[in-house]
Amino acid sequence: MKKNDFESAARLIKNAKHLTAFTGAGISAESGIPTFRGKEGIWNKYDPIILDIDYFKSNPEKAYPLIKEMFYEIIDKAQPNKAHKILGQWEREGILKAIITQNIDNLHQKAGNKNVIEFHGNTRDLVCMNCGEKFSVNSIDFEQNPVICPKCGGLLKPDFVFFGEPIPADAYKQSVFHTLASDVYLVIGTTGIIMPASLLPYEAKKNGAKIIEINTEPSEYTEKITDIFLQGKATEILDKLNNLNSLIGY
């Protein structure tokens, strides 16, 4: 594993035939969204049981106020940062083929990326656990507790993946496709411990991809599969790569 070899990383990105970015909470940290782990992590403040599907089903009136506090209030105010925007630019320039994100904050889409695979779903919609109807969070009365389906009166669930729920089939399929098609795989801001998402970079590596990792500190991947480790904040590292990229182009 080479550390902070920006030149090699920029060249790999520039010449990649199929570059995929795999992102975690760390890419949104500089947009003011707390990560899950680490000293200011969400799990230091809230009990993960709140996001357990069985707990949610039996205690929706307890879970909802905390879920709104944990995610919706913060995500509403959050804007894409420079890291998100550079990935948007790389997609427009044809450098980046897809983003597989574990995040549910919609910041990649706000930064202009079209091909975003939301491995853990999203906070834009809610789905009825009774009739299956989907509603955009802005189209219903989100103030009620618990949030009830306007169509059948059933319990509405945020459309992100709770612990104990399966990964959305289409997201899974698309993630595997891009992971196996990648010759360069950019892993940004993730501890690499939550399965099955965390297995994807290993699959990319096994399939011959070069792994470039951006993180403020080493992760589960760094000593095992990372080829180039760029240590630092995602905004700073991507900005540096982006400048080098444009230089290498000429």
What are the catalytic residues?
A: 120
Give the binding range for ligand APR (CB under 6 A) out of 58-66, 132-140, 186-194, 203-211.
186-194
CB 135 within 8 A of CB 150: yes
- Rounded distance between C-alpha atoms, residue 42 and residue 45, angstroms: 5
What is each CA distance from 182 to 82, 126, 162, 164, in whole angstroms?
Answer: 24, 32, 28, 29
In whole angstroms, the minimum distance from the beta carbon of 69 to ligand APR comes to 16
3-state helix, strand, coil in the chain (%, to 5): 40, 20, 40
Q: Which of 171, 35, 16, 180 is nearest to 90 (CA)?
A: 16
In whole angstroms, the minimum distance from the beta carbon of 132 to ligand APR comes to 23
Position with the least CB separation from ligand APR: 26
Residue from 5, 38, 202, 203 in contact with ligand APR (CB under 6 A): 38
Give the binding range for ligand APR (CB under 6 A) out of 24-32, 63-71, 166-174, 238-246.
24-32
Indicate whether 123 belongs to the interface with ligand APR (CB under 6 A): no
Residue from 182, 189, 212, 227 in contact with ligand APR (CB under 6 A): 189
Indicate whether 47 belongs to the interface with ligand APR (CB under 6 A): no
Contact residues for 21 (Cβ-Cβ < 8 A; gap 6+): 87, 96, 98, 99, 100, 186, 188
Indicate whether 37 belongs to the interface with ligand APR (CB under 6 A): yes
In whole angstroms, the minimum distance from the beta carbon of 192 to ligand APR comes to 6
In whole angstroms, the minimum distance from the beta carbon of 232 to ligand APR comes to 7
Indicate whether 158 belongs to the interface with ligand APR (CB under 6 A): no
Question: Quick one: tokens of 178?
Answer: 């891009």
Sign of CA dihedral 131, 73, 120, 64: negative
Nearer to ligand APR, 122 or 191 (CB): 191
CB 99 within 8 A of CB 87: yes
In whole angstroms, the minimum distance from the beta carbon of 151 to ligand APR comes to 28
- Rounded distance between C-alpha atoms, residue 241 and residue 118, angstroms: 25
State the first-to-last Cα distance of the chain, in angstroms, to the nearest integer.
28
Indicate whether 215 belongs to the interface with ligand APR (CB under 6 A): yes
Q: Which of 250, 209, 213 is nearest to 232 (CA)?
A: 213
Indicate whether 121 belongs to the interface with ligand APR (CB under 6 A): no
Residue from 167, 194, 199, 244 in contact with ligand APR (CB under 6 A): 194
Q: Which residues bind ligand APR (CB under 6 A)?
A: 24-26, 29-30, 35-38, 41, 102, 120, 189-191, 194, 214-217, 219, 233-234
